[in-house]
Amino acid sequence: MSPGPLVIVEVAEGIARVTLNRPGELNTFDGPMIRELATATRELIDRKDLRVIVLSGAGRGFCAGADLGYLAGALRDHRESDAMDLLRAGGEVVRMLHNFPGAVIASLNGPAAGGGASLALACDYRIASEEATLGVVFHRVGLHPDMGATWLLPRLVGPSRALELIRSAEMVPADRCLALGLVNRVVPHSRLAEETAALAARLAALPRQAAEAAKASVMAGSPAGLNAALAREEAAQAGCFRDPDAVEGLAAFHERRSPAFQNH
């Protein structure tokens, strides 16, 4: 486990910088980390002085989603409630970010995979290093996309392309992410922090009422749709958690081998 907090929050001039801080594990979230992220997000969205939230990851990646070792242990030991708690807390974070009236930026310094990709998709802007990759890779371990991915992804790329990305479970490089509309900008890796800070400052300087009203207009009707999607995902993922294919997929990942799915 990383020393210090699992989530680092810094606030200045109306901008909150939230850093996922498990760099040795590519910022994957286990139970403690996702709860810490949910608490930090809840506290931030309640602040009246906040205009922009920037999400980033420490080390060489943004976020590789759920800690599959943690998840595999929960399913192996019949602690499905721990797996469901992880899923629900992640969904809560996505919902809060999506409904935040100000701007939310994902600063992608490296891989954003699984739930990490969902977290990035829930943001209003995604600015990516040329070294970043993004993938909705749940099927690799026999799981269903979650944290809003089944609703967020089609809104960006359309249903056919969304299914292609989900079923291929590929990690998409930054230049193709830009071409597909998965990210707003790609910048040199050495300039990512600088470019992210400049974007956050520009957004924080916009007229507040007009900017927040514009976001509300663009997202009109969206919260109900996202809420319904999160509920469907939760039910589907709960079924996957009970499926031997998910147990096998997670074990195979941990053992660094190809899974032998039953496809029963």
More confident residue, 255 or 11: 11
pLDDT digits (tens, 9 = 90+) for 41-95: 999 999 999 999 999 999 999 999 999 999 999 988 999 999 999 999 999 999 9
Considering the domain 7-210, what is its CATH architecture? Alpha-Beta Complex (3.90)
pLDDT digits (tens, 9 = 90+) for 14-53: 999 999 999 999 999 999 999 999 999 999 999 999 999 9
pLDDT of 6: 97
pLDDT of 19: 98
188 pLDDT above the threshold of 90: yes
pLDDT of 29: 95
DSSP assignment of 87-147: HHHHHHHHHHHHH-SSEEEEEESSEEETHHHHHHHTSSEEEEETT-EEE--GGGGT----T
221 pLDDT above the threshold of 90: no
